[in-house]
Chains A and B, each alone.
Chain A
Amino acid sequence: MAADTELTPTKYIDHHLTHMTVQVKEGAFWALHLDTLVTSIILGIIGMGCVWLVVRKATPGVPSRRQAFVELMIEFIDNEVKNTFHGNRHVFVAPTALTIFVWVLLMNTMDIMPIDITAWVTENVFGLHYWKIVPTTDVNTTFALALTIWFLMIFFSVKVKGLGGWMHELFCTPFGKNPLLWILNLLFNFIEYVSKPLSHSLRLFGNIYAGEIIFLLLGMWAATGVAGTVFGTILGAGWAIFHILIVTLQAFIFMMLAVVYISMAHESH
């Protein structure tokens, strides 16, 4: 927003898509998107903290309204996990699903925040020129989550089936035990192991990023005058309402995929 010279559409969009970056070390990899990291951690603390505050005083008797809400959410997630995962889900899988859902939902919901107002606040209240408030529009976030799930997948594969069992699965499924098929099987599994985190993370990233871009494009109507502003506002409101569905759905899909991947790692073929 605070362009020093003329504000062109390109500059407007560029500004909104630029991360607040700090350099940890020399080198392109060692850049850190501070906005993504700080926003997501704050959201995570708010989300999990709220749930924790309610749960800490959870009573087996008649629940308070807040507890009933949290229970509703947790039982919904627990049911989904129960249908997919057939081990003791309470040890790890179900709490992980809850974390993913709450956290990703909150991060996605940042997308609905009015972009220019939040940009104004971060600029003028906190003095931060660049600050993207939607962590899931940063591909680093979605990849971080998907790769964590990916490592958990491999961890549970090895833990449940043993290293030998996992290797057997890599070489002997899906086509069969014949040594001639080993390479083909391995190739197939390799593609699967690569495509899982890619599709997992890019689905979330793409949906939320595209939503953000559309908000930006609608925001540019304001540059065309009063009629354009009104028009842009109406469209923006419509898109925001529709986006409520998208952010929830994407958080749910991300959670379900994580549960499915971890469940598949528990099952031997």
Chain B
Amino acid sequence: MNINFTLISQALAFSTFIWFTVKFVWPPLLRAIEERQKTIADGLAAGERGRHELELASQRATDILKEAKQQASDVILQAEKRASEIVEEAKRAAKEEGDRIISGAKAEIHHEVFSAKEALRQHAARLAVAGAEKILRREVDAKVHADMLASIEEDLSNG
């Protein structure tokens, strides 16, 4: 345990090793570690950003879906309304048409009835006149009663 020149030489060796480490060993590894830390931090940030974007996108998707549903129900509502309108219109048109047909038919029937009555009346008048002629031929001079006959005939045809 004696102090001697070894001390100085060891101190020199020590200083050399320190210098070597400071200059050549520490910086490259520090650089590598820092670069890796940066890469990891970037990756984490990107992941976080991606997560955030996903959240936004899903929210947007929900919104769009909701809007689409709303639109769809609107469209359905309109369609139903339109359909009922069309049905109503069709009903109305059909009713009008029916009414027209009915009134036309009625008018025709009326006309038929009228002409049938007319024909019947004339026929009956003629029959009556004929009957009366036959009766009167025996008892009345046609010339004398011609006026009367004509008025009867006229009455019948008008009545």
Contacts and interface: CB of A to CB of B under 8 A. Distances in A.
Contacts of A99: 14, 17-18, 20-21
Interface stretch (A6-14, A33-41, A225-233): A33-41
B5 A32 contact: yes
Given A40-B13, A52-B25, A58-B28, A138 B6 contact: yes
A51 interface: yes
A24 B21 contact: no
Contact of B5 (A24, A51, A91, A138): A24
A90 B26 contact: yes
Contact of B29 (A37, A74, A145): A74
A148 B22 contact: no
A44 interface: yes
Interface of A is mostly: helix
Contacts of A30: 4-5
A164 B14 CA distance: 29
Contacts of A83: none
Nearest to A92: B22
Contacts of B24: 52, 55-56
A140 B21 contact: no
B20 A32 contact: no
B11 interface: yes
Interface residues of B, number: 32
A90 B22 CA distance: 8
A28 B22 CA distance: 35
B115 interface: no
B14 A59 contact: no
A140 B32 contact: no
A148 B5 contact: no
B7 A96 contact: no
A29 interface: yes
Contacts of B5: 24, 29-32
A60 B7 contact: no
B159 to A, nearest CB: 126
Interface in B110-129: none
A28 B18 contact: no
A48 B20 contact: yes
Interface of A: 24, 28-33, 36-37, 40-41, 44, 48, 51-52, 55-56, 58-61, 63, 67, 70-71, 74-75, 90-92, 94-96, 98-99, 103, 135, 138-141, 143-145, 147-148
24 contacts: A30-B5, A37-B13, A48-B17, A48-B20, A48-B25, A51-B25, A55-B29, A55-B32, A56-B24, A59-B32, A60-B35, A71-B29, A71-B33, A75-B33, A90-B27, A95-B18, A98-B25, A99-B14, A139-B2, A140-B3, A144-B7, A144-B11, A145-B10, A147-B11
